[in-house]
Structure formats: structure tokens, C-alpha cells
Amino acid sequence: MVGEYNPKKSNKFLVYRSNSGGFGDRMFGAISTFILAYVNDYQFRIENFKPISFVEVFTSPYRWWEQDWKGIPMKRGRLNIESSYDVYSDIFTTGTIEDHYPNSDCISVYSNQNFIKYIFKNPIYKSKLEKEGITEDNAFQYAINFLFDLEEEYKKNFLYLKHKLLLDSNHLVGVHLRTNWNWGDVPEITDSTVDRFVQAIEMYAQPKSRILLCTDHTPLIEIMKQRLPQYEIKTVKGEPVHLQKNENHELRDILKIVYEIWLLADSDVFIGSYWSNFTRIPVLKSLKKPVLVELEVKENGNDATKYWLKNFNHETYEEEYRLPVNVRGVSKFSPEILNGIK
């Protein structure tokens, strides 16, 4: 099992070093890199992020935060898969890391996506993982629960927040509404997409449900409260933060992100934005069926969105985000559909 990870190759390292992308992107890259290290019996490390590293929030039975790989004289290699996965797919699907990097003892991995599915296309890796009860569907869940356990102080805070959310209510609806209106990111969603989130809440909430709303656009909180007066809508205190787009984020900002993801994973119903890796983490952490809404993009959005639309090369938005199904209106799906590259 992953929880008993004790790599045989003490002098071989895979180091996750990417400092780009949001929290969800980096979480996916780190966990995928760990699975790759696991199947190759390599040591796994995460370089400290700037300005706030994962080790400020998380602990683990395995000391992935050690920076010993920096001071040891080793032959070094680099695997940069932040922009293109298909080009590098053979590295995952055939042979082993030693076959592809015979002269490298310490390999730096840069990634902002989930490439676990490529690892399972390798018969060597797949056989090892499945012998230990790890499948393509549950590999992410195994790894995140092993690698990223909240430090005791923050675990107490999380449990307190969860208690407050469930007080006098036995049904929690978690909502992640990613608009991309704040940071000039793509795609900017339309008001009609927001309407579908309202519809989804009305469809799946119970009379005494409490709503946890996580969004990148603070004004939407009051709008949603006005549109859904029959429900008590709660949020985690603090302003929205994106690790790449907000350069001066602090520890409290990271904690807000973590608490939101962990609470969303524990919700009874989760309504998410499939165009964000943030949505994918609570789904794969809990393996509960998410409710997804149909994406509609602003044609008159910011310049980045206009450029994205102009160069849109796929038939559907689902194809753009590599979903194996079409999302129409409001629908509930198997969690496995989010287990892949966005």
C-alpha cells in the first residue's frame, strides 16, 4: 500500500519543483510525480514553493519535504511537462524512468496536471500498483491522503469549521463556482452559467441543507444569497487567492484554499466547475459523484478569453477539458470522468 512506501533506491530522486499554476495544478503535479516515484522505487521530494510551501500546512509519514537532494553530488535530469503531455507520453507508458534517464540520479519534474492515467498505461507500473490494490480510479485518493495530512493545529481548525458548518444541519452542499472574472483567466463564464449553479443547488439541496460556497469572485456571494434566500450560505473567511496570479499570498491564504478543498470533499453533494483543477481535487479525494454544470463562455469577455475563443480548436468544451462525456444543463457524473488531464 502507498502508506507503507519505503523506496528501495535510496540514491535516486524524483523532485517536484513546479512553481507555476494554481493550488490545484500544483497538487495534481506533485501527486502524479509521487505515483511515478512510487512505481520506480525512487525517493520523492517537493521543492519548497515561494513564498509559502506545502510543508507549512501538511505533514506525512513520508518526509517529502526534505531538501537533501540539493546538497548531494548527483547527475541531474529534467522532465518538463507543463505545456505538452502527448509529446512525453512514452516516458510514462514504456519502460522505466531509469530506461529513459540512464544517466540521471535526481530528476526535476515540472508539471501542473494529473498524468496518473499515463502511468497506468505502462504494463510494468500498472501490474505493481494493482497488486497493491491501487487502481487508476483510486490512485489519487491513496496518494493525497498519504502525502497531505493537515498539521495538528490546522486539523483542529478544519474540524472546528466542519462542526460549525454542520451545526443544526445534517446535509452540506459544497459549491465551487469558478468564474475567471477576477484574474483575466480563461474561460470567463457567462451569467447563464451562474444561473445553472443556482439551478443545481435548487435541484440537489434539501430543505435544511447548508451551502458552502467557494468562488473566485467575492461579489457573487451576496448575489447567490439573494437568489437563494431559502438556504443558509456560508463561506470560508478571506479573499480569493490564486497562487500564480497573487504574488504576495500569505499562509492564511493557503489555509483558506486547503480548508475549502477539504470541506468540499466532505460535503454530501458537491457542485463543481470542471474547467478548474480546484474542482477536481475534492472529487478525486472523496470519490463521490460530482454535479457538473454546462459551461458557457463570454464571447465579449476580456482579451484573453477572446483570444482563447478565436483559437478554440475543439468541437466542444468537454473535449477541450478532456471529459469523456458531454455535460448538458445540470448533471451528476461518476468521479472517474475528472481523473485526467484538464
- Give all domains of the chain, ordered by start, each with its CATH number: 2-150 (no CATH), 152-338 (3.40.50.11350)
For position 170, what pLDDT does the model report?
85
pLDDT at 1 over 60: no
Q: What is the dihedral of CA 214, 219, 223, 228, to 10 degrees?
A: 20
Kindly report the pTM of this predicted structure: 0.95
For position 249, what pLDDT does the model report?
84
Which of the pair, 247 or 155, is modelled with greater confidence?
155
pLDDT at 202 over 70: yes
Q: If you average pLDDT over residues 97-122, what whole number do you get?
A: 95
β-pair partners for 46: 16
Helix residue ranges per DSSP H, the chain: 23-40, 68-71, 89-93, 97-100, 116-119, 123-131, 139-147, 152-166, 191-204, 219-227, 251-265, 277-286, 303-310, 317-320
